[in-house]
Amino acid sequence: MKSAVLVFPGINRERDMARTLKLVSGHEPKMVWHGNTELPKGTDLVVIPGGFSYGDYLRCGAIAARSPVMDAVRAFAAKGGLVLGVCNGFQILCESGLLPGILMRNARLQFVCRDVHLRVERSDTPFTRGYNAGQVIRVPVAHGEGNYAADAETLKRLEGDGRVLYRYCSADGDVGDLHNFNGAAASIAGIVSEKGNVLGMMPHPENHVEEVMGCTDGRGLFAGLAAHLEKAA
Ligand X SMILES: NC(=O)CC[C@H](N)C(=O)O
Task: Name the residues annotated as catalytic.
Answer: 87, 204, 206
First to last CA, the chain: 8
Q: Which residues contact 73 (CB under 8 A, 6 or more apart)?
A: 6, 39, 46, 48, 83, 96, 98
Bridge partners of 45? 3, 82
Q: How far is the CB of 100 from ligand X (least distance, A)?
A: 18
Smallest distance from the beta carbon of 227 to ligand X, in angstroms?
26
Span 116-145, contacts to ligand X by CB under 6 A: 142-145
Q: How far apart are CA 114 and CA 106, in angstroms?
A: 14
Whole-number minimum distance, CB 55 to ligand X, in Å?
Answer: 9
Task: Kindly state whether residue 50 participates in binding ligand X, applying the rule CB under 6 A.
Answer: yes
Q: Which of 14, 48, 52, 120 binds ligand X (CB under 6 A)?
A: 52
Backbone phi, psi, residue 158, to 5°: -60, -45
Instruction: Measure the CA–CA gap between 4 and 109, rounded to whole angstroms.
Output: 33
88 belongs to the binding site for ligand X (CB under 6 A): yes
Residues making up the chain, counted from first to last: 233
Q: Shortest gap between Cβ of 198 and ligand X (angstroms)?
A: 17
Residue closest to ligand X when measured from CB atoms:
50
Q: How many CA atoms lie within 13 A of 13 on its CB side?
A: 25
- Each residue 143-172 as x (binds ligand X by CB under 6 A) or -, in order, gives xxxx--------------------------
Q: Which helix (H) or strand (E) holds 186?
A: none
The string over 110-126, giving b where at least 16 C-beta atoms fall within 10 Å of a residue's C-beta and e elsewhere, is eebeeebbbbbbbbebb
- For strands 147-149 and 164-169, give the pairing: unpaired
Residue closer to ligand X (CB basis): 50 or 101: 50
Residue 119 CB, nearest approach to ligand X (Å)? 21
The window from 24-32, 45-53, 118-126, 166-174 that contacts ligand X (CB under 6 A) reads 45-53
Residue closer to ligand X, measured from CB, 29 or 129: 29
Tell me, by CB under 6 A, how many residues bind ligand X: 12
Q: How far apart are CA 190 and CA 211, in angstroms?
A: 24
The reply on whether position 60 binds ligand X by CB under 6 A is yes
- In the complex with ligand X, which residue's Cβ is closer, 208 or 228? 208
Q: Looking at 52-60, 150-158, 167-175, 221-229, which segment touches ligand X (CB under 6 A)?
A: 52-60
Residues at the contact surface with ligand X, assessed by CB under 6 A: 50-52, 56, 60, 87-88, 142-146
